[in-house]
Amino acid sequence: MIEGSDKKNGMPACRIRAADVFCGVGGLTRGLEDSGIEVALGIDIDPACEYPYNQNNDATFRLKSVENIDASDLREAFGDVDFRLLAGCAPCQTFSSYNQKADVSDERWWLLRHFSRLVREIKPEFVTMENVPGLENHEVFEEFLNDLDCSGYDVDYSVVNCVEYGIPQYRKRLVLLASRLGRIELLTPERFGAERKSVRMAIGELRPIGAGESDPEDPLHRSSVLSDLNMKRMKASRPGGTWRDWPKELVAGCHRSESGKTYPGVYGRMEWDAPSPTLTTQFYGFGNGRFGHPEQDRAISLREGAVLQTFPGDYKFVTPGKKVNKKALGRLIGNAVPVKLGEVVGKSFLCHIASLTQNQSESI
């Protein structure tokens, strides 16, 4: 089953094929493909994901709800292959610390249960899932772990900070790997060969633009318009600072109140020589977090957000000639699995296979 080596990735070659449920615009898929894993199918309920997914990846997109996915759909996609990987990164808003209203009546609680159903029905050799750290505190995650255990999987999961893996962003995520073939673990940053990257290293070479302007050669490299008041606030902001640095007349009324003093993480600039803060779905807005450009008087652009999520600089998100919808694209980019994290996951499975093969050879 091990067919020599993959010179591009320096990993053992093997026939491993993946299906990516809740694939979004393809962050995880692209990372898996970059690692050397073939992805056959991506499934998502959002039609806005179809163009970017199909344009940038070798896999095929299917518009379908996880509730309506049948095991036969995935068996057909996997075909005759040595190893099958089922990936599922359910929308995470339900479990996020930012969501103060979610409860067990939220239908998104059931998405992970449907993913678990597919695991039980197909029993792929490998399973992976990425989500917000808060998921591990919920009963639905315990149910998922129990299902994996009962189905014969060895499981490794942990909360990782993406910055440790060469992603230029402080972003903590719960990453789970499972294998029916033996003990598995996520590669450490050292084994992966990661080097820390800063905002400057990621976006420092992009064309300068002003607030409300766009790069004529890249419609995704566009920034939001700033009101006169917010432009004054932007100019009064320093990299790594907060609204507390401003003159009093620029401070919003809600921040002057006692309760507002606990929210310093808005209206700030990023620092050139540090990773960015965690990107949210509204990273393109200056008042939505510390998403001000380190030097230019504007919020970061959609393209800069995508690059900070480690999408390639030429990743296509919008059909040529179609209007760029900042809100829709901000959501898709902010919710994406960082491409580099997907590569870490893929190489972890390939190392797992290589280790199993080596152990088998030594036992002969």
Question: Catalytic residue numbers?
Answer: 92
SS3 for 267-308, per residue?
Answer: CCECCCCCCECCCCCCCCCHHHCCCECCCCCCECCHHHHHHH
First to last CA, the chain: 16
**Which two three-digit tokens encode residue 173?**
């995520």
Element (H, E) at 85: strand 83-88
For residues 54 and 44, give the distance between their C-alpha atoms in angstroms, rounded to a whole number. 12
Residue for token digits 């049948």? 70
Contacts from 94-99 at CB under 8 Å and sequence distance 24+? 95/131, 95/132, 95/134, 95/135, 95/138, 96/132, 96/134, 97/132, 97/134, 98/280
For residues 268 and 272, give the distance between their C-alpha atoms in angstroms, rounded to a whole number. 13
CA 21 to chain centre: 13
The packing angle between helices 71-78 and 109-122, to 10°, is: 60
CA distances from 193 to 5, 166, 190, 291, 340 (A): 18, 9, 5, 28, 12
For residues 25 and 47, give the distance between their C-alpha atoms in angstroms, rounded to a whole number. 10
β-bridge pairing 154-161 and 172-179: antiparallel
In the Cβ-directed half-sphere of 254, how many Cα atoms lie within 13 Å?
5
* Closest to 17 measured CA to CA, from 158, 165, 125: 125
* Three-state DSSP state, 65: coil
